[in-house]
Structure 1
Amino acid sequence: MAEQITKTTPRHRVFITGTAGFIGYHLAKLLLAEGHVVCGLDGMTDYYDVTLKQRRHQMLLQTPSFTAHEARLEDAETVMRLITDFAPTAIVHLAGQAGVRYSLENPRAYLESNLVGTFNVMEAARTLGVGHLLMASTSSVYGANTEMPFRETDKADTPLTFYAATKKANEAMAHSYAHLWNLPVTMFRFFTVYGPWGRPDMAPIKFAKGITERTPIDIYNHGDMYRDFTYVDDLVRGIRLLIDTPPQRPERPEDISEGDSLSPAAPWRVVNIGNSEKVRLIDFIEAIEEEVGHHAIRNFMDMQPGDVPATWADATLLHALTGYRPQTSMREGVKAFVAWYKSYYGS
């Protein structure tokens, strides 16, 4: 249930990149339900089914407070013009080339979208003096780290894929802009997001499709993997609350609380958004089997290059900043996800 706007609640103008995407759609939907004004930008690339992206935008466009534009992040002039014309109070940058495994096949797409495109968004935010820039990172930046749960204050210097490397670079780029221009920046690291309207290249839809159609599903590392599965509604609620929590440059480094990733040199912070629960991959698959109504044909495989055996978020900082903890159990989330899958795909 969306929180109601009150006289004391600020009415935001939020520019979101990637509103035809999985997470961008859900965030825009939440903000619109609260009465905020949202302008969306999406490149509508053919990385996956464009029809799904178009459906998401069509639903958002039913709300008068939403406008949408189609453009690529690499088009600096258009990005600058659209953001300038909208004059947002906050920018949430979610667009970019997604997918860990695809970065093995087409790394240049990540270079152009995630580095050049992100630079263009940061330049627009700097030029306008936007009150808060929030940008998507990923749990993949923790790379070869083995100590869990992952904490924002841990070093993240060992990315295992080029996708993760571009997101780590985004964090560093944003820090420099925060320091140089006093631009408040919050980076958030996602942990295995799933839910209705998800991307078809992601494991949950691949699993649901295979189990429903009784075709084999690939299970990497022979199922000996753990993920911090985070339901999409919980994720975007966390982002929504972080919009109201811009970091401030500390007067003295010793003023920074223990466990806070706030930079001693800039109004910059990184925040994990995860369910804070390690779930065995096989258990997640079995939950989908239960909702679909029959068992999967399991094709056990070796670990994929660049993959990691486990992810697990420490979301203490998110709670300290916002008072919020993700609260959807894996079983609840899978139930809602499979119900949507059956409805959308007609299974």
Structure 2
Amino acid sequence: MKILVTGTAGFIGSHVAHALLARGDEVIGFDSLNDYYDVTLKKARLARLLGHAGYTHITADLADRAAVEAAFAAHKPQRVINLAAQAGVRYAAQNPHIYVSSNVTGFLHILEGCRHHGVEHLVYASTSSVYGANTNMPFSEHDSAEHPLTLYAATKKANEQMAHSYSHLYGIPSTGLRFFTVYGPWGRPDMALFLFTKAILEDQPIRVFNHGRHKRSFTYVSDIVEGVVRSLDVVPGKDVEWRGDAPDPATSGVAPYRLYNIGNERPVELLRYIEVLEQCLGRKAQMEMLPLQAGDVPDTEADVSDLIANVGYRPVVPVEQGVADFVAWYRGYYKV
């Protein structure tokens, strides 16, 4: 298939593009290479893709309506995977407008492209952060997620609702994927594992919020990629039923629309995550214990029963293996 993938210079997007190319798909990559974090790392990810004959890259911003329209018109993708977004939960306090520009306006441009160019299936990234004030564990797509605690989460919740409206109005099959704390090689420098690894190797203290007592469904990037690619192949209304007895947050009675969690079913306490990292690095961390940050939730735990039932996959990589793989990549990439 010919697939438009946004965010291909990003962490997850670059891995997804490689997986699609490996199975023989043609990938149209779309990324602005913004400077939210080290552009050198983004260019290094992109360089690994540019050598593939099946890869074409477009450097542009999703907020640029004309550029998005031109990409759809020129390449006519059969399916779309939207992974581009302004990342980072805490950066919104400094620059809230970019979240709406990229995550809301940019997503509207993707929806319009799908609408006017007969796209067979739209898969897009959402986040476990949408669960916000919901304390029911494990988090289920069928539970309410009406109270996000951060602007980032609110923009992703808006994406889910926008996608449903377009699925209903224009018959565009859409699948939203709620990612849970993704980590692994080629990861983002603003994420905990990256920050911790850098600080420990430089004999600097690490900031441990909530005194390390909160739990996360840490999900290795290969598990996310497998879920994304499999979800792309399972089209609501064609390959899987989208109607429920009544509409709920995960399904719809009126549109070919689905939501899935993608996360490891076994949450890990942050202190254990750090312990595994210490073992992989062969060094102890200097920990500065701090209270829970505003906007953070104490715990996350993914219910992936729908993903298993409809997509035929569950995340499986344990943190012991995933952290070791990340450390090996980090040491090789930064030569430390």
Q: Would the alpha carbon gap of residues 145 and 252 (structure 1) be closer, same or farther in structure 2, given more than 3 Å must change?
A: closer
Q: Would the alpha carbon gap of residues 151 and 252 (structure 1) be closer, same or farther in structure 2, given more than 3 Å must change?
A: closer
Deviation at 1:252, TM superposition (A): 6.2
Q: Deviations over 1:120-165 (max 9, x none)?
A: 0110011112000011100000001111110000000110000000
- Residues 1:29 and 2:38 aligned together: no
- Distance in 2 (alpha carbons) for counterparts of 1:106 and 1:116: 15
- Distance in 2 (alpha carbons) for counterparts of 1:288 and 1:74: 38
- The answer as to whether partners of 2:20 and 2:26 remain within 8 angstroms in 1 is yes
- Distance in 2 (alpha carbons) for counterparts of 1:115 and 1:200: 24
Deviation at 1:260, TM superposition (A): 9.2
Match of 2:298 in 1: 309
- Residues 1:266 and 2:261 aligned together: no
Instruction: Name which of 160, 182, 206 aligns with 2:149.
Output: 160
- Distance in 2 (alpha carbons) for counterparts of 1:217 and 1:254: 49
Q: Deviations over 1:31-89 (max 9, x none)?
A: 11111110100011000000111111110111100011100111101101112211111
Instruction: Name which of 118, 122, 128 aligns with 2:111.
Output: 122
Instruction: Name which of 35, 42, 45 aligns with 1:56.
Output: 45
Match of 1:142 in 2: 131
- 1:177-188, aligned counterparts within 5 Å? 177-188=166-177
Q: Deviations over 1:75-130 (max 9, x none)?
A: 10110111221111110000010000111221111011111011001100111120
Amino acid at match of 1:140: S
Instruction: Name which of 198, 205, 212 aligns with 2:194.
Output: 205
Match of 1:9 in 2: none
- 3-state SS, counterpart of residue 137 of structure 1: strand
- 1:8-19, aligned counterparts within 5 Å? 12-19=1-8
Deviation at 1:330, TM superposition (A): 0.9
Q: Could you tell me the TM-score, scaled by structure 1's length? A: 0.94
Match of 1:332 in 2: 321
- Distance in 1 (alpha carbons) for counterparts of 2:119 and 2:243: 24
Q: Would the alpha carbon gap of residues 252 and 157 (structure 1) be closer, same or farther in structure 2, given more than 3 Å must change?
A: closer
- Distance in 2 (alpha carbons) for counterparts of 1:260 and 1:146: 16
- Distance in 2 (alpha carbons) for counterparts of 1:103 and 1:232: 24
Match of 1:6 in 2: none
- Distance in 1 (alpha carbons) for counterparts of 2:16 and 2:310: 19
Match of 2:61 in 1: 72
Match of 1:290 in 2: 279
Deviation at 1:262, TM superposition (A): 2.2
- Distance in 1 (alpha carbons) for counterparts of 2:314 and 2:219: 11
- Distance in 1 (alpha carbons) for counterparts of 2:29 and 2:222: 19
Match of 2:245 in 1: 254
Instruction: Name which of 101, 121, 129 aligns with 2:90.
Output: 101
Q: Which runs of 4+ in 1 moved over 4 A?
A: 249-253
- Residues 1:230 and 2:219 aligned together: yes
Deviation at 1:261, TM superposition (A): 2.4
Amino acid at match of 2:75: F
Q: Deviations over 1:302-346 (max 9, x none)?
A: 111101111110011111112111111110101101100111111
Identity %: 49
Q: Deviations over 1:192-225 (max 9, x none)?
A: 0000000001111001111111101000011111
Deviation at 1:255, TM superposition (A): 9.0
Deviation at 1:254, TM superposition (A): 3.0
Q: Would the alpha carbon gap of residues 46 and 260 (structure 1) be closer, same or farther in structure 2, given more than 3 Å must change?
A: closer
- The answer as to whether partners of 1:149 and 1:311 remain within 8 angstroms in 2 is yes
Amino acid at match of 2:54: S
Unpaired runs of at least 5, structure 2: none
- The answer as to whether partners of 1:223 and 1:282 remain within 8 angstroms in 2 is yes
Match of 2:269 in 1: 280
Which moved further from structure 2: 242-251 or 51-60?
242-251
- The answer as to whether partners of 2:78 and 2:118 remain within 8 angstroms in 1 is no
Which moved further from structure 2: 262-271 or 246-255?
246-255
- The answer as to whether partners of 2:242 and 2:251 remain within 8 angstroms in 1 is no
- The answer as to whether partners of 1:247 and 1:262 remain within 8 angstroms in 2 is no
In the alignment of these two chains, the number of paired residues is 334
Cα RMSD (Å) of the superposition? 1.5
